[in-house]
A and B are shown apart, each in its own frame.
Chain A
């Protein structure tokens, strides 16, 4: 037995400030609905604060932040999968996001506004064909920068399986993305 201290509110707040945005991005990629993602994110932090109050590792004052990060992502992932599995997901797309294209990153000087919009929609549709597990794998490893071992711990798989899963997910995404862009006259050419 070892004396441990609960995570303070200040430390919890700092943790939330660091991971709210990336977790929200992760959840949006999984459920394709920013509003639902907000709910799931809120649930995640409620669970996290509850765990912190209960002194649940790794949410301790001396807890390892990398483990805390994985804990948050795992809870968020489980909540998203549960939500999708319950079949309660009605596909909503908020105009709040869809209409605000002017904020899309303009990092490619050759891309016109229309091309960026088309690419964005193509990516949205391409992602939608992936299973939640494959989406999570992509989002964790490609977007969030987790290693295969970390991603495996988050989605409850093995690192070996993650290799196969990321390969399959990227192949499917590439195919779907190419098909979407090819069928869209406004796509990049």
Chain B
């Protein structure tokens, strides 16, 4: 730390200025204090060095904080999620007369008591392991309500069939059948469900392309459609570690571990994309997505993997790292399930994922001018361990399919050995991490 060492002794007056020095650059000194300090600084080498030390720490703070800038989420993602989360039907969306009271005087309303305070519990930036909780909590209600309504309708119709129809005998009345219902109009029927071939949902408002906040930088234009490159939906893929690791020894993570991993290993198989209709006049029917195995290379041997969400072990603090979680707010939830033995060339058409309810009607959807869809896809990959390359296509209007994009090769191997920091707490492994090593980050096999 020689750069901070003081070469000048402090003088008798230096103590007077010790509290003022750190404020010198901040504009918080009074005029008299600043004049006095400047005069002292002009003649005091010790305080000049002190001031230089504060300047260096300021610079170090700038440098340190600057690295977080690149980890910031995409601003457009935040906007899209905010728009999704805040009801657009709020009457305040209309222009209105409003007092211009200062915001400071209204902060109790807008900051502390705002209705979104509970959003701590339901973050919606995409993070897979909280996704299902969120969707189950917030999006299954309409489904349950529909099921309940159907059951009530069925119960009512059954009662009507039993009680209302002409009874010829007790035995007959206890065995109602559909053919004995009095009239067709009273027959219980399931709520008509849209089918992919005959019914087309419509999105003409509420999903403007301006909310395409995927943060993607790569798009493909297919006619009027602007489609983002398909990417992981914060799937947290793991890194591939060397294959020859000794599971009886801790492994020190290298400083150059690829980020993002290359190749990606065992990601949560969630993908997403946006489709924007850039036309000002024409609607387009978005029918479905296709996923094709463009390439496959079998993987043999032991696959060692490390995913940062699993943390690492570092002395003296122990297990650190992790912090993964989150949710996803998509307009369409699809799933693409490959057969267990599917290989290169196999293609599936994604279907509606019944376990999640999107913000738009199920596909197919007539996408109005200027409207967009945010589509999430859950994939079930084949079971054979290996490196898969998935290519995505879009079925729209009468086009089947138009190529969208191809993912980088991804290793799926359910038998992969997951190296984690917490595994290193086993005494036999922990004892191998040198007590003096406070910089190495270690992971261990189960």
Contact = CB atoms under 8 A, between A and B. Distances in A.
Given A16-B78, A167-B19, A39 B125 contact: yes
B83 A6 contact: no
B22 A95 contact: no
Contacts of B26: 141-142, 148, 163, 166
Given A53-B93, A96-B308, A143-B62, A46 B116 contact: yes
Contacts of B312: 95
B76 A74 contact: no
Interface string B75-105: 1101101110110101011111111111110
Contact of A173 (B57, B101, B103, B253): B57
A75 B111 contact: yes
Interface residues of A, number: 102
Given A24-B73, A166-B23, A92 B65 contact: no
Given A83-B120, A189-B1, A189-B2, A163 B29 contact: yes
B110 A6 contact: no
Interface string A95-123: 11111111111010000000000011001
Interface in B235-284: 253, 255-257, 259
B130 to A, nearest CB: 10
Contacts of A43: 116, 119-120, 123
A5 interface: yes
Contact of B65 (A143, A178, A182): A143
Interface in A50-97: 50-51, 53-60, 67, 71, 74-75, 78-79, 82-83, 91-97
B1 A38 contact: no
A119 B73 contact: no
Interface string B202-240: 000000101101000000000000000000000000000
Interface size on B, as a range, is: 35 or more
A42 B61 contact: no
A183 to B, nearest CB: 9
B389 interface: no
A50 B114 contact: yes
A91 B319 CA distance: 10
B127 to A, nearest CB: 8
A53 to B, nearest CB: 5
B169 interface: no
B123 A100 contact: no
B323 A159 contact: no
Nearest to B322: A92
A21 interface: yes
Given A35-B324, A93-B320, A163-B28, A56 B106 contact: yes
Interface of A: 1-6, 9-10, 12-13, 16-17, 19-25, 28-29, 33-39, 41-43, 45-51, 53-60, 67, 71, 74-75, 78-79, 82-83, 91-105, 107, 119-120, 123-124, 127, 138-139, 141-143, 147-148, 153, 159, 162-164, 166-167, 169-171, 173-174, 177-178, 181-182, 186-189
Interface of B: 1-4, 18-20, 22-23, 26-29, 53-54, 57-58, 60-76, 78-79, 81-83, 85-86, 88, 90, 92-104, 106-107, 109-112, 114-116, 119-120, 123-125, 208, 210-211, 213, 253, 255-257, 259, 308, 311-312, 320-325, 439, 441
